[in-house]
Amino acid sequence: MSSQNLDRFKVLLVGTKIPENIGATARLLENYAVGDGGLVDPQCEWKSGVAQWMATGSSRERLKSIPVYSSLKDAVSDCNAVVGFTARAGKTRKLSLKLESLSEALPGKVALVFGREDFCLLKEEIEVCTHLCALDTGTNFTALNLSHSVAVVLSRIFNDENSSRRGHHEVATSAELEPLFSHLAQSLTSLGYVGEGNPERVLLKLRKIYQRAGLSRSEIDLLRGICSRIILQKNRKSMAAPGSDPSQESD
């Protein structure tokens, strides 16, 4: 049912350098009743001065209590999906989601990640994101102010969420996905699939596929069971190689 708030979303500002943007974002969190917010490695003074001036009324209390994280990975450990907003394109910055489909496409708790005013998100931060999204603008001047970008995103999602009456299936969090990635790497290594060439690139591509899939906990258990069986069968074949006694294998 319509919730009239955005309690399943978490707005994160990464490496912010201009305090006014932090204050304005705190105000937006109140405007749209966003459930959670946070700062990742802020690069300015935001507990006093102009940030407080921008965060008027009740949003000043939100600003005072906003959590600070040392890394984006820590900040999104409780989230099911992580959407990075970027204006920069590249091999590792391919857009995978449009703003107008975000609310419908991503169930569960969703982190909305906004990067630095000058350099956006760094490569290692992009790797944490399950999806990338860009905001459409006119061609004459495409650079949006950071807090304006947050406003555009929250306004659209608020309208989409409150016109929706669908249910959401429970999706695993970012932290719950990590054991799957480790297990997947072990199983592929045992097969020799990532033993040559650029194994890190192969595993990164697979990570992105599974991050976008919106897996449930039971689906993760299923995939990890397959990985375990691959490793087990590979070990059995190794034991059955010439010079070993297959009759001594345990079932």
In the block, residue with structure tokens 């990975």: 73
- Work out the mean pLDDT of the chain and round it to a whole number: 87
157 and 193 housed in the same domain: no
Query: What CATH number does residue 217 fall under?
Result: 1.10.8.590
Q: Which helix (H) or strand (E) holds 69?
A: strand 68-69
Closest C-alpha among 25, 53, 48, 51 to residue 38: 25
69 and 23 housed in the same domain: yes
**Contact assessment for residue 43 and residue 15, using Cβ atoms and an 8 Å cutoff:** yes
Sign of CA dihedral 196, 199, 202, 203: positive
195 and 103 housed in the same domain: no
Tell me what the mean pLDDT of segment 203-228 comes to.
89
Q: 135, 161, 187: which is the final residue of a domain?
A: 161
Interacting residues of 117 by C-beta distance below 8 A, sequence separation 6+:
16, 17, 18, 21, 146
Residue 246 has pLDDT above 80, yes or no: no
154 and 182 housed in the same domain: no
Closest C-alpha among 211, 223, 221, 224 to residue 106: 211
Q: Does any domain span residue 139?
A: yes
Q: Does any domain span residue 131?
A: yes
pLDDT band at residue 132, thresholds of 50, 70 and 90?
very high
The model scores a pTM over 0.75: no
Residue 71 has pLDDT above 80, yes or no: yes
Position 1 scores a pLDDT of: 34
Question: What domain range is 46 assigned to?
Answer: 6-161
Q: Which helix (H) or strand (E) holds 6?
A: strand 6-14
pLDDT (tens digit per residue) in 83-121: 999 876 656 567 889 999 999 899 999 999 999 998 889
Position 173 scores a pLDDT of: 87
48 and 89 housed in the same domain: yes
Q: Does any domain span residue 247?
A: no
151 and 94 housed in the same domain: yes
**Contact assessment for residue 20 and residue 119, using Cβ atoms and an 8 Å cutoff:** no
Give me the number of domains the chain comprises. 2
16 and 112 housed in the same domain: yes
33 and 155 housed in the same domain: yes
pLDDT (tens digit per residue) in 5-44: 899 999 999 999 999 999 999 999 999 999 899 999 999 9
Residue 45 has pLDDT above 80, yes or no: yes
Q: Does any domain span residue 125?
A: yes
Q: Which of 132-136, 138-142, 193-197 has the lowest mean pLDDT?
A: 193-197
146 and 183 housed in the same domain: no
DSSP string, 114-176: E-BTTTBS-HHHHHH-SEEE-----SS--PPPHHHHHHHHHHHHHHHHTT----------HHH
